[in-house]
Amino acid sequence: MSLKTRNAIVTGSTSGIGLAIARAFAAEGANVTINGFGDAAAIEKERAGIEADFSVRCRYSAADMSKAAEIDAMVKEAEAAFGSVDILVNNAGIQFVSPIENFPPEKWDQIIAINLSSAFHAMRAAVPGMKARKWGRIISTASAHSLVASPFKSAYVAAKHGIAGLTKTVALEVATDGVTVNCISPGYVWTPLVEKQIPDTMKARNMTKEQVINEVLLDAQPTKQFVTVEQVAALAVFLCSDAASQMTGSNISMDGGWTAA
Ligand code: NAD
């Protein structure tokens, strides 16, 4: 129970990687604010399930990560409810796949807002409390696409490269305050985000579903296996531990060897 006295926010945690991170933090004793979209009854089931399974407090914030004021309010409400925000995970993210000449400008704006600017707004709101308490952990879910590119993902790749730069910058600013700032860069993790981009990739590349899985997705990953959400969550827990207190400004790959190639 390494996080027993900690209070965490995990954005985009009604699904996929974020949900696994929220549950892993709760398993270590942290109170958690979950966030994201979805069916209200399903979200309440997840929230209540976390409280029941791990004997912690879990609250839900419906804040839209494309809206600065809602992000600021999410952090302030979490501080008021639990007394602090010790751990912030910027995880909410969406994808859109299209050649640049057809890429809708509003999709570009939405991806930059949700996948990049939301991390800025959340860090900006959470850092003062972390600095005052002399302890904090900020983790962003970046991507192998924070290091390398793939065609047809201009907004996503730009946003994830931005997360890597933002991580380094804020890490330097808070380096003497007991606050670490890192990002995790997974390769392909089997979640709804990956599943949902298959039809568009089929269209963009004129491929079958099996071809997209084997020749596009797993083709990039030398291990030929998807990363699991539990593996990403275990790394997030480690980054919150004392053993990781000298890791800051890092972009840590978990990509089956993708970016080694
Ligand atoms: P997912 O679709 O399963 O989950 C995304 C979460 O973000 C959901 O909870 C969703 O409700 C939430 N969300 C979306 N828009 C939001 C908004 N405007 N406001 C608040 N919440 C919002 O996806 P995932 O695969 O678990 O992705 C999580 C993060 O991991 C993303 O940042 C993604 O880019 C990153 N990532 C995923 C993979 C992968 O292969 N799945 C690889 C590398 C990085």
Average pLDDT for 127-136: 98
Q: Indicate whether residue 24 lines ligand 1 (CB < 6 A).
A: no
Provide the pLDDT confidence category of residue 132 given band limits of 50, 70 and 90: very high
Query: How far is 165 from 7, CA to CA, in rounded Å?
Result: 26
31 bridge partner residues: 7
Query: How far is 175 from 163, CA to CA, in rounded Å?
Result: 18
CA dihedral (28, 12, 73, 88) positive or negative = positive
72, two tokens: 């600021």
Average pLDDT along the chain: 97
Average pLDDT for 66-83: 98
Provide the pLDDT confidence category of residue 197 given band limits of 50, 70 and 90: confident
| pLDDT exceeds cutoff 90 at 145 | yes
Query: How far is 153 from 207, CA to CA, in rounded Å?
Result: 17
Q: What SS3 state is found at 207?
A: coil
Average pLDDT for 128-143: 98
| pLDDT exceeds cutoff 90 at 1 | no
Q: What is the pTM of this model?
A: 0.96
Model pLDDT, residue 33: 99
Q: Indicate whether residue 141 lines ligand 1 (CB < 6 A).
A: yes
Q: What domains, with CATH codes, occur in the chain? A: 7-188+228-260 (3.40.50.720)
Question: 37-75 b/e with 16+ CB inside 10 Å = b?
Answer: eeeeeebeebbeebeeebebebbbbebbbbbbebbbebb
Which atom of ligand 1 lies closest to the CA of 160?
34
pLDDT tens digits, one per residue of 155-173: 999 999 999 999 999 999 9
Q: Indicate whether residue 256 lines ligand 1 (CB < 6 A).
A: no
Provide the pLDDT confidence category of residue 192 given band limits of 50, 70 and 90: confident
Q: Do the beta carbons of residue 145 and residue 95 sit within 8 Å?
A: no
